[in-house]
Every structure is written in structure tokens, then in C-alpha cells.
Amino acid sequence: MNKLILVIEDNEQNMYLTTFLLEKNGYTVLQARSGAEGLEQVNCCNPALILLDIQLPVMDGYAIARALRAIPALDAVPIVAVTSYAMVGDREKILAAGCNGYIEKPINPDTFVSEIVRYLGGEP
């Protein structure tokens, strides 16, 4: 199973925690700190999953999700928003942009990896 996960996140603390938890559980993490960087990196790697912050500068996560979904090679790759947006209607907006689901921030270190495994459809 491909264990490469692309994380698009501009907050250093969130990037650190996400990367630490994933790498501790055997995943390889490719980091992007902006939407543009994430879109560039996805062309040179074959991620099993993309974790996407919604609140990004310049190009927000909704626009990035739509751009990622326009790439045919990523049709089967789950995109999961990792966001503090958890109000009524946010879930629907996230899904309409092309994400397969979302994980609320702040992430729970005790359950985060099991949520990732669920989106990947298997064991880490």
C-alpha cells in the first residue's frame, strides 16, 4: 500500500503535529505550506491521501480541492479537509468542493491516525 500523504497546511504547529503522528505510524509525509506548492508537489508524487487545510492564504482550501479534483490522475485519491470550520453548512461546502470528508481541528492525537486509516480503507 502507498503510504505517502501530502499535507497542505500553513500553520507550523499543525504541520509538525500532523507530520509527527503520521510518520510515527509508518507514513511518509510530503509537506506543502501553500495551495500553489501543494498543486506543484502533487504532480511529482503519487499520494495515497491528501490532507488539506481550508484556511490558507491566497488560495483557500475550497479552490485547492476543486483544482485537485480537476486532475484526472487524482480521481481515486481521497482529499480530507483538516479544518476548524465545523458550523452548519461547512461540511456540505467542503464535500461540494471535492473533499471526501473532514477532520476537525484541533486534531485529537489519540484518534487522528485511525481517522486517516478509515479514509485509506485499510491498515497503516
| Cα first-last separation, the chain | 9
User: Any idea where the domains of the chain sit in the sequence?
Assistant: 4-120
Helix, strand, coil percentages for the chain (3-state, nearest 5)? 40, 20, 40
Contact (Cβ atoms closer than 8 angstroms) between residue 19 and residue 25: no
DSSP symbol at 55: -
Instruction: Considering only CA atoms, give the Rg of the chain.
Output: 13
17: three-class secondary structure by DSSP? helix
Q: Which amino acid is at 47?
A: P
Kindly report, residue by residue over 73-123, the tens digit of the pLDDT.
Answer: 999 999 999 998 767 788 899 999 999 999 999 999 999 999 999 999 875
Kindly report, residue by residue over 4-51, the tens digit of the pLDDT.
Answer: 999 999 999 999 999 999 999 999 999 999 999 999 999 889 999 999
CATH hierarchy code of domain 4-120: 3.40.50.2300
pLDDT at 122: 72
User: How crowded is residue 89: how many other Cβ atoms within 10 Å of its Cβ?
Assistant: 8
Tell me the pTM: 0.94
